[in-house]
Amino acid sequence: MYGVHARGTTALRDDEADPGSSPTMQPPEIIEADSREIACDGGGGALGHPRVFLNMGAKKEIDCPYCGRQFALSAAGSADAPASAGH
């Protein structure tokens, strides 16, 4: 048929992304944290989001589920012992 192409047969240029693949999304902002336990409110005052408290646990970074900000443990914070699992 004229103008119909089988899916996946189109060659992409080097500067084009494959529409079937999901690109790695970059966080809108990366914030260094000195503690494994942090709070995020979106930073926009009334335009932010409800404050959420995040715990990195044994990880060195965590993303806010509301705004996507990424909090990364700083060198000063990485010297701390890992956060406990409970209170």
Number of domains the chain contains: 1
As a whole number of angstroms, the distance between CA 71 and CA 29 comes to 8
pLDDT at res. 85? 45
| Domain membership flag for residue 61 | yes
Q: What pLDDT score was predicted for residue 63?
A: 95
Residue 47 domain-assigned (yes or no): yes
**Residue 70, amino acid:** Q
25 has pLDDT over 80: no
Q: Tell me if 4 is assigned to some domain.
A: no
Report yes or no on 69 lying in a domain.
yes
What is the residue whose two structure tokens read 């060195």? Answer: 60
What's 43's domain CATH number? 2.60.260.40
Burial annotation 50-78 (CB, 10 A radius, 16+ → b, else e): eeeebebeeeeebebeebebbbbbeeebe
Domain residue limits at 67: 30-78
Q: For the whole model, what pTM was predicted?
A: 0.61
CA distance 49 to 71: 16
Q: What is the mean pLDDT of residues 66-84?
A: 77
Q: What pLDDT shows up at residue 7?
A: 46
Question: Does any domain span residue 59?
Answer: yes
Q: What does the pLDDT average to over 39-58?
A: 92
12 located within any domain: no
Residue 13 placed within a domain: no
Asked whether residue 16 is domain-assigned, the answer is no
